Amino acid sequence: MKIPCAHCDKNAVSITKLAAHMLFRHPAMEVVCHYCDQKFGGPADKLDKPAWDDFRGHVYKEILKKKMYEHSSKASGASSDAVALRGVGRCPHGAAVKCKNFPNCPGAKCIYSHGQCRYDITCNKSTCPFDHSNRPRVCMACINDMKGDRSRRRY
């Protein structure tokens, strides 16, 4: 994945290379996140190590969010309620955990893995407790990450 510079059309191959590019090509310009336009404390040549670490960490999180949104919009076909699917694609939280209460759990509302249904997409039981590829589980950790980021920006 290419990471765009906020000041020019350069795409870096890593966050470290992006930081180096900004430091050497745009030393007098403010360090800004391309994805959300957040500023990181002044011109590139005046930033200290903790500020650069904050910038790298922030851009890394923004890239993860972008990948999750891209994956979920491809999977569901909708971009408005974009959420990642647990353990699928670029979700950073790993595979879904097996449900301890299966088969006596809330079914579709349960966020844990139930094993694949043998009929999969041809299954016509609306209350089938198994997982289906056309009805995937949502990653609650990704949803909580997104909610947390939104609440932090408001203050």
Among residues 59, 3, 6, 58, which one has the least CA distance to residue 32?
Answer: 6
Please indicate, yes or no, if residue 47 is contained in any of the structural domains: yes
pTM of the model: 0.46
Tally of domains within the chain: 1
Please indicate, yes or no, if residue 123 is contained in any of the structural domains: no
Please indicate, yes or no, if residue 39 is contained in any of the structural domains: yes
Please indicate, yes or no, if residue 53 is contained in any of the structural domains: yes
Domain ranges, residue 78: 3-96+137-154
Q: What is the pLDDT along the chain (155 residues), one digit of tens a residue?
A: 688 898 898 899 888 899 999 999 999 999 988 888 888 888 989 889 998 998 888 888 888 777 666 655 555 554 434 444 555 555 556 566 777 887 777 666 676 777 788 888 888 887 787 877 776 666 666 667 666 655 555 44
Please indicate, yes or no, if residue 75 is contained in any of the structural domains: yes
Alpha-carbon distance of 21 to 24, in angstroms, equals 5
Please indicate, yes or no, if residue 150 is contained in any of the structural domains: yes
Going by C-beta distance under 8 Å and a sequence separation of 6 or more, which residues neighbour residue 119? 128
